[in-house]
Structure 1
Amino acid sequence: MKKILFFLLSLWMAIVLQAQPKQEIRAVWLTTNPNAVDWPTSKNETNQKSSLIEILDKLQAANFNTILFQVQSYGDVLWDSGIQPWSYHLTGTPGKAPNYDICAFAIEECHKRNMEIHAWVVPYRVGSNSYVTKYDDCALPHVYKVHPEMCVNYDNAWYLDPGLPEVRKYLVDLYETLVTKYEFDGINLDYTRYPHANFDDGDSFKKYGGGANRDDWRRENINKFVYELYDMIKSHNPGMKLGVAPIGCYKRIPGYSGWYAYSDVFQDPCDWAEKGKIDLIIPQLYWDESSGYSAHTKTWIDNCNGRQLVAGLAAYKMTESPYWQTSVVIDQIEKMRKNNPATCGVSFFRTNYILGENAKIKDLYNQLKDNYFKYPAHIPVMPYNGVTKPDAPVNVKASVNTSTKESTISWDVPEQDENNTSIRYYSVYISESPDIEIDNVENQVAHIVKENTFTYTLPDDKIYYFAVTAFDKGYYESGLSNVVKVSASAGLMDADIKPVRFIVEGDWLRIDTQETVVSVHIYALSGTLMAHGDISEINIGHLSRGAYIVVVTVNNGKIIKYKMIK
């Protein structure tokens, strides 16, 4: 008997490991850079709006949930900042504002589709010699002309000098106009580094170096900017996230060569994570295994201090190399999921390489839509910003139209917790068993419901059970509501079935059930037994933060499974 149970448990764990996570970031970079543009491809306002809607509709159909929307290219921007000019490729005229608010429009359309949208900014890189002069005659010229004392020319392109305190203030002031005007879900930093070790910052180093090692001084310059930016963002909008897309190699790994964030371009995102000044890291892991994809991923996992870690994937390479097949990208998604929750999603560079017409691109999109992203995913939680637990919806009711088989589920808003945490949305679950497994994405019949009612057409005359959960602003999910029992032929059969509840309080896991608990076993995702007991409360204080599988046996022999996040 034990062997049978162990086999079933091992099989079930294997399925869990390969299944789609319930919470996962599925992101894509959407460029507005004229040198590599996803959008816009027209100067006409109507065409711009319709094409962005078409892009978002296709991404929504494949269950993407995060858009990294570029709002700054080379010292020019997509919002009325009063500090940097409007990007010329919006209207064809440098510095000219479009006739509509692009950021407000993009935010509205993403939020309609239950997508997060992060403003993608490029702080230090401000354009080639030929690019910046396009803005010479604007009412608001380019920064290289307004503040030449803050700019350095390197390799025929202009950069703001990270070593100048006035550059930090200039950038924080610039992004403050974005943060205070718009409800972006996050800010995502790109190219937040030096362009090269040969960058000519001798004057600023002489003035501000203070005898420090030059490499350490350069890293500290970038660090200070990120710290100040993070603090500014949180002072205005504590819920707005700060993310970064660093070079994919953090530090040197024996056996691999390349450019390293820490030592070659003086970028240290893991310091920002350690100091609590970043929420999300998306390293650009643009290699296959021969160049160290998994090795570099592990380095980020070991050093990201528990911050959300998302793998940046090079979908664009499918069009550049005959060796970079769809299978390479799919393999990287699978490896990311095996590291979950240490890694919690993927981001693709860039939108055209997800939605384009190339055969390999179409194949990747279809595999995502029909398989790997088949079920929608919630945004992962950020425990380091504070763990919350909303109350479950109450008074769940159901009615059934037996002629149409439509079942309408309604519920009341739960009471707010002691912190008055607001409810973001609800999820509705269906099962053929009253013990509804809410971590099985196939049981989630309605991913996001923003009202207090939901109608579903029952597929047949079987008996079904419905329940509802609430998600708060931090994407934390409540326990199950009361369970209702319905069928298409008999209508409502029972409106107050008590669900089994798994409650984590401090160092204890409590199983709240009307049955008698016979045994509780807690397993790591690897299958290793981590804790066990024979009562409804079990100490979990010794467990590290992460995901675990809880298997409960009750007195009638029934086995209940639960995925616990500690």
Structure 2
Amino acid sequence: MGSSTSPPDPATPKRQFRGIWLATVANLDWPSRPGLTPAAQQAELRGWLDLARRLRCNAVVVQVRPAADALWPSPYEPWSAVLTGGQGGHPGYDPLGFLVTEAHARNLELHAWFNPYRIANHADPGRLVADHPARRNPDWVVAYAGRLYYDPGIPAVRSFVQDAMLDAVTHYDIDAVHWDDYFYPYPVAGQAFADHATFARYGAGFGSVEAWRRHNVDRLVEQMSDRLRAVKPWVRFGISPFGIWRNATTDPLGSRTAGLQSYDAIHADTRHWVREQWVDYVAPQLYWHLGHPAADYAELVRWWSETVSGTTVELIVGQSTYRAGAAGQDPAWQNPAELSRHLHLHRAYPQVRGDLQFSAKDVRADRLGAVSRLVAEHYSRPALAPVAAGRGGTPAPGTAPPPPAVTAAVRTPTGVRLDWLPAPGSTPTAYAVYRLAGTDAADPTMLDDARHLLAAVRATGAGDSYADATAAAGSAYTYLVTALDRQHRESPPGPARVLTAGSDAFSVIVDNDTPGGFTASAAWGTSRWSAGRYGADYRYTTAQPVSDPAWFTVTVPATGNYRVEVWHPAASGYHPGAPHLVQTTTGLVTRPVDQRADGGRWRELGVFPLAAGRRPVVGVSRWAPAGGHIIADAVRLTRVP
């Protein structure tokens, strides 16, 4: 295919956050009811994670601290009642530990979802376990609208809830800390949040209780951001706020909406958190339809896109999947295309990096086929998670690992099995597997979107594999595998592995820019001038009577006979007899190649006996009479019977 390029397909983005909220509070999603056996709870959880994979999601956001309790053995708070039906009851296993293992086995990011201040969905402290922190510290507690909350204005409370959440960060390999929109409670008409004594004690210097409350929430966000970075800087911090910050009629910086203002109602200055870059991502709950008279979805996407612009904060949109096809919703939600239309709109806003569906049971219900339609139109291919930029512009630790080496591509009764090894000394988190039709697929832009992405699979720490069940029997394919670190940085692909039509013979391609696969001195320049090149560029030099070959290094899997082919662009000013060298089991063999013609395709040098192992196998020499540039571009080795 040479060097032709094609623009990325917006329908198959290579990078896109795709997540599902899995709520545990009140057993909304999981466990389906309290008191299930450990085996039943685990089976349900596996089912949810399998659903996420089937829908080609790459993340789950699971509520692990629904109400001042825990889904892990916390030294700070009791076991959650959603597990056993009784607060403090041991569930017989470690749910968070199990969740981390199972999510990562499916290469799903695990965002641990915490609610900072909610204590209980009732107002009776006596129903809490005797050693509950809220009972040990009754002055921390405010009863409001039939529920119990920790008082956000007390510094000791802010410190405690952070300690409780960071315990999970410290002891488990989670990928992100996630908060929803509950800070100060949503207002209820005729009721006041009883924190005026706290304001009198801690509110000096503030002109109003509202400004002081916003300060309290700001401090919680900023402190958690700093502490999280100090404990595990690679763990991301995301918040999912109410979708409206302020209306433009109240504040010119606000959105053209007429709804509840989170800045004023629950004292959450979400715009400030984004502009200060205290968070890695923001996932506003844009739970309105396109054209809503008070809160138009399109207007809110515009506003949030502008809000994150110029920051490192990713914008992920919280989707009201629960509305689609549900009784009592606006007529717009009876249109099975409404959710999909949201994602079509996102294509005009590059700041939108993905979506988060609320909640899991509604995703599974798929009323009106709305979720199936969204998946068919927007999740038709897998996608890698966006690269984590590093909070506040600070580079996240680590770099992309070096590329892996594919050790086998074997046809099986059900498709093709690929095996590979990480580069020596590297520890990738995951791998991306690509498949291109044919054996001459060299266009690097083919990896710019997900059209050729088969899967992203979790690294095991040793040899890894992937079963391509969609490979057609007898078809020719080129497979590429890249390595990813935990920030989702991607290596260049390792040497291509080729399956020729009707054969499972070993075949590998090494380009001049294959990491670790090509070496040349400074006398070899780099060019993109010729259109018939393989990949992005090629190397060139002048003929000189010096020993200065460029070498292509190949891992030969077994001693045997191999067909050796070379690829080069062609031009009248190239050399008529460029010397090509092959290291065979019987010595060095030289073959001249006329590079003035027949470029942009594979040209056979011959079949040669090669020894097993990794070494420079094919070289292009400069030792030739004057006569034009000598080109080194790509080689292909194929084992023959």
Which TM class, normalised by the smaller chain length?
Answer: 0.7 to 0.9
> Which whole-Å deviations, capped at 9, do the CAs of 1:286-317 have from their partners, x for residues lacking one?
11121221212222222232311110011111
Q: Which residue of 1 aligns with 2:323?
A: 317
Distance 1:479 1:93 in 2: 52
| Distance change (3 Å), C-alpha of 1:446 and 1:312 | closer
> 1:442 and 2:451 equivalent?
yes
Q: Which residue of 1 aligns with 2:220?
A: 225
> 1:429 and 2:426 equivalent?
no
2:245/2:263 contact within 8 Å kept: yes
| Distance change (3 Å), C-alpha of 1:393 and 1:250 | same
Q: Which residue of 1 aligns with 2:35?
A: 43
> 1:59 and 2:36 equivalent?
no
1:40/1:90 contact within 8 Å kept: no
More moved, 378-387 vs 43-52: 378-387
Shift of 1:69: 0.9
Distance 2:416 2:512 in 1: 20
Shift of 1:95: 2.1
Q: Which residue of 2 aligns with 1:348?
A: 357
Distance 1:78 1:481 in 2: 41
Q: Which residue of 2 aligns with 1:333?
A: 343
Q: Which residue of 2 aligns with 1:93?
A: 86
Distance 2:435 2:19 in 1: 28
> Which whole-Å deviations, capped at 9, do the CAs of 1:51-92 have from their partners, x for residues lacking one?
222222222211122111112223333222233322223212
1:192/1:222 contact within 8 Å kept: no
More moved, 227-236 vs 440-449: 440-449
More moved, 59-68 vs 270-279: 270-279
Shift of 1:32: 1.0
Distance 2:352 2:103 in 1: 24
TM-score by length of 1: 0.79
| Distance change (3 Å), C-alpha of 1:485 and 1:287 | same
TM-score by length of 2: 0.70
Distance 2:184 2:458 in 1: 45
1:71/1:78 contact within 8 Å kept: yes
Rg comparison, structure with higher value? 2
> 1:157 and 2:147 equivalent?
yes
More moved, 215-224 vs 81-90: 81-90
Distance 2:272 2:136 in 1: 33
Decide which of 365, 379, 385 is 1:379's aligned counterpart.
Answer: 385
Distance 1:250 1:285 in 2: 11
Distance 2:405 2:63 in 1: 44
1:314/1:348 contact within 8 Å kept: yes
Letter of the 2:99 counterpart: A
Distance 1:397 1:141 in 2: 55
Distance 1:535 1:413 in 2: 26
2:143/2:149 contact within 8 Å kept: yes
Distance 2:301 2:183 in 1: 20
Distance 1:154 1:394 in 2: 57
More moved, 35-44 vs 110-119: 35-44
Letter of the 1:33 counterpart: V
> 1:485 and 2:498 equivalent?
yes
What SS does the corresponding residue of 2:429 show, helix, strand or coil?
strand
> 1:179 and 2:169 equivalent?
yes
Shift of 1:355: 0.9
Higher helix share: 1
Distance 2:407 2:72 in 1: 46
Identity %: 25
> Which whole-Å deviations, capped at 9, do the CAs of 1:384-431 have from their partners, x for residues lacking one?
352765354265455555x96965545553366xxxx74212222221
Q: Which residue of 1 aligns with 2:587?
A: none
> Which whole-Å deviations, capped at 9, do the CAs of 1:214-260 have from their partners, x for residues lacking one?
23322121111112222222222222111111111022135521111
> 1:116 and 2:105 equivalent?
no
Q: Which residue of 2 aligns with 1:506?
A: none
Root mean square deviation of aligned Cα: 3.2
Q: Which residue of 1 aligns with 2:278?
A: 277
| Distance change (3 Å), C-alpha of 1:453 and 1:115 | closer
- Which runs of 5 or more structure 1 residues have no equivalent in the other structure? 1-7, 503-511, 520-533, 537-553, 559-566
Distance 2:29 2:305 in 1: 31
1:186/1:243 contact within 8 Å kept: yes
| Distance change (3 Å), C-alpha of 1:177 and 1:414 | same
| Distance change (3 Å), C-alpha of 1:207 and 1:468 | same
Letter of the 1:429 counterpart: Y
Q: Which residue of 1 aligns with 2:423?
A: 414
Letter of the 1:75 counterpart: A
What SS does the corresponding residue of 1:34 show, helix, strand or coil?
helix
Distance 1:449 1:105 in 2: 16
Distance 1:369 1:408 in 2: 27
Distance 1:394 1:91 in 2: 45
More moved, 468-477 vs 82-91: 82-91
What SS does the corresponding residue of 1:248 show, helix, strand or coil?
coil
What SS does the corresponding residue of 1:383 show, helix, strand or coil?
coil
Output aligned runs, 1:231-270, within 5 Å: 231-254=226-249, 255-270=256-271
Q: Which residue of 1 aligns with 2:487?
A: 474
What SS does the corresponding residue of 1:120 show, helix, strand or coil?
strand
More moved, 241-250 vs 206-215: 206-215
Letter of the 1:352 counterpart: K
Distance 1:288 1:359 in 2: 16
Distance 1:394 1:191 in 2: 42
> 1:134 and 2:127 equivalent?
yes
Distance 1:394 1:108 in 2: 24
Shift of 1:43: 1.1
Distance 1:94 1:490 in 2: 61
> 1:296 and 2:300 equivalent?
yes
Shift of 1:344: 0.8
| Distance change (3 Å), C-alpha of 1:62 and 1:399 | closer
Shift of 1:477: 0.9
Shift of 1:153: 2.3
| Distance change (3 Å), C-alpha of 1:409 and 1:112 | closer
1:396/1:484 contact within 8 Å kept: yes
Letter of the 2:144 counterpart: Y
| Distance change (3 Å), C-alpha of 1:28 and 1:407 | closer
Shift of 1:454: 4.4
Distance 2:286 2:146 in 1: 27
Shift of 1:261: 1.9
Output aligned runs, 1:1-80, within 5 Å: 16-17=9-10, 19-34=11-26, 36-45=28-37, 46-80=39-73
What SS does the corresponding residue of 2:32 show, helix, strand or coil?
coil
Distance 2:103 2:405 in 1: 32
What SS does the corresponding residue of 2:70 show, helix, strand or coil?
coil
Distance 2:146 2:418 in 1: 63
Distance 1:398 1:78 in 2: 42
Distance 1:329 1:131 in 2: 40
| Distance change (3 Å), C-alpha of 1:472 and 1:487 | same
> 1:209 and 2:203 equivalent?
yes
Q: Which residue of 2 aligns with 1:167?
A: 157
Distance 2:499 2:121 in 1: 66
What SS does the corresponding residue of 1:117 show, helix, strand or coil?
strand
Q: Which residue of 2 aligns with 1:498?
A: 511
Shift of 1:442: 2.5
What SS does the corresponding residue of 2:204 show, helix, strand or coil?
coil
| Distance change (3 Å), C-alpha of 1:499 and 1:343 | farther
| Distance change (3 Å), C-alpha of 1:287 and 1:359 | closer
Shift of 1:492: 4.2
Letter of the 2:177 counterpart: I
